[in-house]
Structures are given as C-alpha cells and as structure tokens.
Amino acid sequence: MKKMLPAPAGLILFLILIICGCSILERGPQSSPEKLMETYLEAFKNDDFETMIRLSDELGVSEDELAFLKNFIQIIELESYSIKQVEYISDSEAAVSISLVLQLMGYEKRLEDRIMVLQKEGKWYIQDRVFDYQ
C-alpha cells in the first residue's frame, strides 16, 4: 500500500517548490535590467567580449567593427561602475542609468550614460551600444 502525504503537507511542499523555483529563475543574468547591466559591466571589467556580445541585441555591425570594438574594450580599464536608476518605459523596454569610472593610459574618465534595454522571450538584452565611438 502506498503512503500519501496529507493534503495540507502536500500543498505546503508544492508551494515551497514553486517559490524556491521562481526565486532561482529570477537570479539569472538576464532576468532584469539591473542584473543584465551588472552582468554586462562585469564582463567588460573582465575583458569578456563574448559575453558582452551575447547580452547585446543584434548589434548589426560588420566583422571589422566587432574586431575594433573588441580591441577598444581591451585597452580601456573599467575601474568601477554603479547602476543609478532603472526607468521602465513598458513591460519589455527600460532605460538603465549608469555611472562608470574608466582608465585609459593613466587617465581617468568618469562617464554617465543611459542605456536602453529590451526584453525578448523573457530575457533582457542591451539595445544600445554602451560606447558610441563614432
């Protein structure tokens, strides 16, 4: 004979699994504009260009431009960053205000920027170029 959990115990166990499962899913690097930006900036800090590209929404640039961007990222050192504010424009679009401290050949540069991010199929992506070099 099989033993069954009493209905209230089974319901509580089910709710715990749902809550824990949802909180685990929410911690992904593309689960929110803040997490996306944090993951992107950490990748930049660690010269992880592939992650930066993966988190970007269709850059629409040539191979030459990608090579230029990769070299550009490697010569700039990201000293520190902070995510100042997230402004939701819609359920699937937001603007993330960031503050950066960069080092280039011994010179420090402070930069404030507002980056557009977009949600597709439950994941957030960088919509803008963080460094517009043109």
Beta pairing partners, 109: 102
So what's the pLDDT on residue 10?
Answer: 41
CA dist., res. 23 & res. 101, Å (int) = 32
Fold type of domain 30-126: Nuclear Transport Factor 2; Chain: A, (3.10.450)
So what's the pLDDT on residue 13?
Answer: 42
So what's the pLDDT on residue 64?
Answer: 85
41 contacts 126 by C-beta, under 8 angstroms:
no
So what's the pLDDT on residue 1?
Answer: 53
Q: Tell me the pLDDT tens digit for each residue of 102-129.
A: 998 889 999 999 999 999 999 999 986 6
- pTM attached to this predicted model: 0.72
Q: How many CB atoms neighbour CB 28 within 10 A? A: 14
So what's the pLDDT on residue 25?
Answer: 47
Residue ranges, the chain, pLDDT below 50: 5, 7, 9-15, 17-25, 132-134
